[in-house]
Structure 1
Amino acid sequence: MIEVALKCSCGQVEGTAHNISPQTGLRLVCHCDDCQAFANYLGREADILDACGGTDVFQTTPSQIEITKGHDQLRCVRLGPKGLFRWYTDCCKTPVANTINASLPFSGIVHNFMDDKGLRDNNLGPVRFSVMGKFAKDGSPLPRDTHDTFPLSIMLIAIPRMIKNKILGRHKPSPFFDKTGAPVCEPVIHTKD
């Protein structure tokens, strides 16, 4: 397992993803309309999305993510009142991670926040799944094994891992939620439109 440096584009926010390996998380590319709307909201589609509209994400636990500098720059948006908590930096609009809530041990770190250029495949392993292909942008061919939605095979990996991590208390500490379970900043509720 390795430590992966975390850093926003301008360097005001830094941190570390601890004990990272292909066995401690799940790397996937998501083409969903929400991920695309988030990139659009930040005004950074060109460097967040691939040619098909996909976002490279590494799913891990909040307790593995430590923000060591610039924590006050964290901001949050939700695409609707029940949407994921989508975290980014205010300073340069770098996407940080997606979370479900304070009690679930799930954080999907967006590739832009991981300072691992050239080492990503070694650190995280290859992309294991390409999902939500039904929302992919036209024009570029999708990887051959892209799923239209989230396949059962992901759930068979993710759900047991999430249960184990919940039992082990890996939903905290979290850089995104305080000890009471409240977000560290008030989320903006935004629509995909």
Structure 2
Amino acid sequence: MATGDAILALLLPGPKHGYDLKRAHDEWFSGLRPLAFGQVYSTLSRLQRDELIQVAQTETADGPERTIYELTPTGRAQAQGWLAEPVDPNGPGGAPADELIRKTLAAYRLNSDPSGVVARQRAVHLRAMRALEPERGAPENLGSSVTRDHRRQHLDADLRWLELTGERIRNAGPAEGAVHLMNDASPPKEQEHG
């Protein structure tokens, strides 16, 4: 549920309506394909059906009616879990590049330990690469060798990308407007203005 997880992450800082979510997605993940409005609203419907989000309020002032969505406690926990869980490099087709990018950038924008996200992902990729080593004395065949080489090259490319991304994050400093997230499933506390 890559798009759904990204939308849940976009709601971590606070409630938003569909148009704001689409704009935030396209800004946060500017190098990826922009979301279509239809995709945003169908994903919101699915997330609401699954009780991961709920309607916070409906605004009707100055224009069309806008439904504002917020995370439920279950949705908040899923979004935070998604950020903490590395992408499986052994899935069909390897680690989905868009998910790696979204997760890393979301962690950066949310001030949710982006360096830790990169480090955990790197560790998972290194384990996957070690698991590709053939057993000593095991017979080799062309199919196994070619498949293993392909997987190893993709993992190696991901590892190089993770290294470069970690360096870019360290050099970038904090994200503008970053929100620090709690480690538990409770909503962030609002600051008092006085």
- TM-score by length of structure 1 reads 0.28
Structure with greater strand percent: 1
Structure with greater helix percent: 2
Larger Rg: 2
